[in-house]
Amino acid sequence: MSFKPQPNAPPQISERYSRQILFAGIGAEGQEKLRTSRVAIVGCGATGSAISSLLARAGVGQIRVIDRDFVEPSNLQRQSLFDESDAAESIPKAIAAAKKIATFNSEIIVEPHVADLTPDNIEQLLSGVQLILDGTDNFETRYLINDFAIKQNIPWIYTAAVGAYGIAMNILPGDTACLSCIFPAAPQGIVETCDTAGILNSAVNLAASISATEALKFLTGANDKLRRTLISYDLWSNERSEISTATPRPDCLTCGAREFPHLAGEGRPHITLCGRNSVQIHERHRPLSFSEITARLQPHGTVKHNDFVLKFWRDAYEMTIFPDGRAIIKGTTDTAIARSLYARFIGS
């Protein structure tokens, strides 16, 4: 499915993008490059929807939006492409994003995919694009994107926001450090997420604006202007930091040794159907603090635990979590929903 220009719609490129063309860094030549560009945005939550909107308004010609979730009322505080009717009808985010973009820029092609990005479908979903942008909510998917991008020599941009904190990093295969150079291993224990730590929409827009601007630089050929640092900014505490990513780490297993375990599915928790209307996530060797998880989950549902198991009830779902990170999610047989719930409330 794709959302294409209306047959009778006049291009009016010079008027629509006139203020952007006046900017010396883009100009008419750069605008034409944007028109013929092809990007993929993985995840269309907070950062993903903001990036999608910015690139669509800038005139990026083909945007592929990939997301496994649907719109909920709690999304509306920060996810700029959705409205109350999308939440009321539980519209898949990729579809809702494509429809909304079509209302303000009918000249570009938006290709929505309601899918969970996995090793089995990543080549199909990310092939044929010049740039991949991260709008995901978990490191598991980011490492998968990193493996694919390095193997296929496709640049990608890592973006994240939680609390008042935004972060962004360009990954240019063969030129800059990759995600594994900077983060050789995923965070252990419970990971802060928007659902457990909250988030300011201003932090989302800051991170998305940085990444969207880097995308415009890349797509218009301004490679000498691309940032070669991992930049982070906490809007509440006013703390800012940058780490150089200008050089790949020689001993990096991904871009150095060219080993791609996430692409092979080795680093991915095994997921199985478990009894009637349940899914089991077999993530092990990830020690969790039940007391910490309980404190974070109490505002979001009913939670209780003992030394051996933690149970969390939210809406129609029941999550049973074990000390080593394994979980059983009751109320669904959809593995994408189960993975989404785990990422939102435990982190991954």
Q: What is the CATH number of the domain that holds 277?
A: 3.30.310
Are 36 and 130 found together in one domain?
A: yes
Are 340 and 232 found together in one domain?
A: no
Q: What is the pLDDT of residue 150?
A: 98
Q: Distance between CA 133 and CA 338 in Å, rounded?
A: 24
Are 157 and 292 found together in one domain?
A: no
Q: What is the pLDDT of residue 3?
A: 62
Are 108 and 159 found together in one domain?
A: yes
Are 182 and 216 found together in one domain?
A: yes
Q: What is the pLDDT of residue 7?
A: 43
Domain membership of residue 202 as a residue range:
13-244
| Residue 5 maps to a domain | no
Sheet with 270-273, strands from edge to edge, namely 270-273, 278-282, 327-330, 317-321, 310-314, 302-305
Are 279 and 235 found together in one domain?
A: no
| Residue 261 maps to a domain | no
Q: What is the pLDDT of residue 340?
A: 84
Are 26 and 116 found together in one domain?
A: yes
| Residue 39 maps to a domain | yes
Are 27 and 171 found together in one domain?
A: yes
Q: What is the pLDDT of residue 282?
A: 75
| Residue 239 maps to a domain | yes
3-state secondary structure at position 86:
helix
Q: What is the pLDDT of residue 2?
A: 63
Q: What is the pLDDT of residue 6?
A: 47
| Residue 46 maps to a domain | yes
Are 200 and 289 found together in one domain?
A: no
Q: What is the pLDDT of residue 173?
A: 98
Are 129 and 199 found together in one domain?
A: yes
Global confidence as pTM: 0.82
165 touches 234 (CB < 8 A): yes
Residue 141 tokens, joined = 């998917």
Of 281, 263, 328, the closest CA to residue 126 belongs to 263
Q: Could you tell me where the beta strands, DSSP code E, fall in the chain?
A: 38-42, 62-67, 109-114, 131-134, 156-162, 165-171, 229-234, 239-244, 270-273, 278-282, 302-305, 310-314, 317-321, 327-330
Are 32 and 121 found together in one domain?
A: yes
| Residue 262 maps to a domain | no
| Residue 199 maps to a domain | yes
Phi-psi domain of 206 (left: phi exceeds 0; alpha: psi -120 through 50; beta: other): alpha
Q: What is the pLDDT of residue 69?
A: 84
Mean pLDDT per segment of 10 residues, for the chain of length 348 residues? 51 80 96 98 96 98 93 91 93 95 96 92 96 92 96 98 96 98 82 82 97 98 98 97 97 96 79 76 76 89 87 90 85 86 83
Number of domains in the chain: 2
| Residue 253 maps to a domain | no
Q: What is the pLDDT of residue 343?
A: 84
Q: Distance between CA 236 and CA 304 in Å, rounded?
A: 32
CATH code of the domain containing 124? 3.40.50.720
Are 239 and 307 found together in one domain?
A: no
